[in-house]
């Protein structure tokens, strides 16, 4: 099995750690042995979102989630900003990161970002579209 480099968007991580369901199940069981990459911006966005009252997470639960993310993911700060056309400016950092780490895939729940797939040759998928066992 070939190890892939996957950029994991914040919306996937927020769902995986806050909402019981298919994203959480898939996150827990379906992405190893791939290299999972996030940026400091993605990590900060996840932390901000997990702290929202709607998720009803206690401070110690949030710390445990963040620690688990750091245990599973490599954190990389992109050196260059992607300058190509983007449907939504807030997604530019995800593509910058994917280019920096030569990602095979971007995993996101963002429909606008998925609509431009592939971008820079990188396929953009929902988590349930990702085949965890590439050949």
pLDDT attached to residue 1: 63
Please give the mean pLDDT across all residues of the chain.
91
The CATH number corresponding to 5-129 among 3.40.50.10490, 3.30.160.150, 3.40.190.10, 3.40.50.1010 equals 3.40.50.1010
On the CB side of 27, CA atoms within 13 Å amount to: 25
pLDDT attached to residue 102: 97
pLDDT attached to residue 73: 95
C-alpha separations of 76 from 8, 63, 80, 103, 110 in Å = 12, 20, 12, 12, 21
pLDDT exceeds cutoff 60 at 134:
no
CB 5 within 8 A of CB 103: yes
Percent of the chain with pLDDT over 70: 96
CB 12 within 8 A of CB 114: no
- pLDDT per residue as tens digits for the range 54-69: 888 999 999 999 999 9
pLDDT attached to residue 105: 96
Q: Give the domain ranges of the chain.
A: 5-129
pLDDT range class, residue 135, cuts 50, 70, 90: very low
Residues 6 or more apart in contact with residue 90 via CB below 8 angstroms? none
């Amino acid at each position: 099995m070939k190890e892939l480099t996957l950029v994991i968007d914040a919306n996937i991580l927020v769902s995986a750690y806050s909402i019981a369901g298919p994203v959480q199940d898939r996150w827990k069981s379906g992405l190893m042995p791939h290299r999972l990459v996030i940026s400091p911006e993605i990590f900060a966005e996840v932390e901000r979102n997990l702290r929202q009252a709607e998720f009803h997470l206690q401070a110690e639960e949030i710390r445990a989630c963040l620690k688990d993310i750091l245990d599973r993911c490599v954190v990389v700060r992109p050196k260059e900003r992607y300058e190509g056309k983007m449907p939504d400016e807030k997604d530019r950092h995800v593509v910058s990161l994917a280019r920096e780490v030569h990602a095979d895939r971007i995993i996101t729940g963002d429909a606008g970002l998925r609509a431009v797939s592939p971008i820079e040759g990188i396929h953009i998928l929902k988590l349930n579209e990702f085949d965890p066992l590439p050949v």
